[in-house]
Structure formats: C-alpha cells, structure tokens
Amino acid sequence: MSPNFVTAVAVVLCLLGSATAYRQLMRTGKSGPGVVGNDCPRSTPWPCKSGQCLSFAFICDGRADCIDGYDEDKALCTAKDRPASIILKMFIQRFHYWLIPGVLGEGSPDTLSKLLTEERSVDDYAKKVNLTAEQRNKLVRTMEFARDGRVLDLILDGMPEDAYREAYALFGRIVDSGFLGSEGI
C-alpha cells in the first residue's frame, strides 16, 4: 500500500467519524469489515464512536463523556440493563411456537429480541411490532407472571413447562429494567 493511499483512506475514515478505524488502520495497516475489535487499552476498553476510549464505569452514568454523547445513547443505556439480544433470540427461537405471535407479536426472533433489548417501554415495543391492545396486555401479563414466579398461570396461558426458568430470568430482568413502567410495579 502506498503512503498516499493510506493517508487518503485515513482522511476519509476520519471524515466519516471513525477514529477507532483510523487508529486501527494506522496501527495494523488494515481496515474494513473483516477487522474486528477495537484498539482501546484494557483500562478503558469501551470505544466511543468519536474514537475516545472510556472505562465501563462511565457508560450510562447520566453524563456524556464521549464527545458525541454515544455513552449516553438511550437505546444503548436501555440495552445495558436488559438480557443480551443473542440470549433473547435463542430463547425466542427455542419457544417460538409459544411466543410468536401469541406473546411477542409478529416478527423474526432476531428483530423481536433486538426490540425487547432496546425499546424503553412496552408501549414503544407494542408500536414497533403493531400489537393490538389485547396482545399488549397479554405481553404485560406474561412478563408479570414470569417475574412473580406464577408458573401455573404461565402454563395455563400456554407456556411450555420447560420454558419457565428462562422466562423467569429473561422476562424478570426486562421488567426490572422498567419495561412495563408503572404497570410493572
């Protein structure tokens, strides 16, 4: 690679706001979709979109520490308190015959898991997946039953017995993050 080409690519990457990619290109001579990870030090491993590196303690602490404010992004901070979307996706795939469309509405496990992870409230989620009022109420009821350990109610509502432990853990954590708002109290 010629030095002029590397410089031109570096300038383009900077203009696009990808300082992490720029640093990686300068350090390794490689950039693009095949390059993974970040080059932040272990003491401050979280990369801002602007290229700064922060300690995890500064993520979603109520104060913007990244120049671009990414560390206080609403979807990011909501997801921080929820189960990982990949875990939810596997749960939804495993019990899709119970969850889709009966509890979570229509959508792929990937889409539904991301929405459960990122949407701030049940109302936001319901709008994104076009739940009817009845479907929304069933989702609220299912999450409350799971959080409260009401196994029999869940089974009577159609939950397979082997889904309970995961439903309790996953839905309980979603409810505890404020997903149901005042309804979940």
Mean pLDDT of 27-43: 64
Q: Cis omega (within 30 of 0) on the bond before 41?
A: no
Alpha-carbon span 87 to 171, nearest angstrom: 12
Contacts of 45 (CB under 8 A, 6+ apart): 38, 53, 55, 56
What pLDDT does residue 19 have? Answer: 47
- My answer on whether 68 and 86 are in the same domain is no
Is a pLDDT exceeding 70 seen at residue 144?
Answer: yes
pTM: 0.66
Q: Are residues 91 and 109 in the same domain?
A: yes
Token output for 39? 């080059």
For the chain, give the percent of residues with pLDDT over 70: 78
Domain containing residue 111: 80-177
Whether 24 maps to a domain, the answer reads no
3-state secondary structure of 105: coil
Instruction: Give yes or no for residue 130 having a pLDDT over 60.
Output: yes
Written as six digits, the tokens of 48 are 């801002």
Residues 56 and 111 in one domain: no
Comparing 81 with 34, the larger pLDDT belongs to 81
Q: Is 105 a domain residue?
A: yes
What pLDDT, on a 0 to 100 scale, did the predictor assign at position 82? 85
Average pLDDT over residues 88-109: 95
55/41 Cα distance (integer angstroms)? 10
Residue 167 has pLDDT above 80, yes or no: yes
In a domain, 96, yes or no: yes
CA dist 60 and 26 (Å) reads 30
- Residue 64, in any domain of the structure: yes
Query: Are residues 180 and 122 in contact, defined by beta-carbon separation less than 8 angstroms?
Result: yes
Do 161 and 155 touch, CB atoms closer than 8 A?
A: yes
Q: Does some domain include residue 21?
A: no
Determine the pLDDT at residue 25: 52
Q: How many folded domains does the chain comprise?
A: 2
Q: What is the pLDDT of residue 11?
A: 44
Residue 161 falls inside a structural domain: yes
Q: Are residues 126 and 96 in the same domain?
A: yes
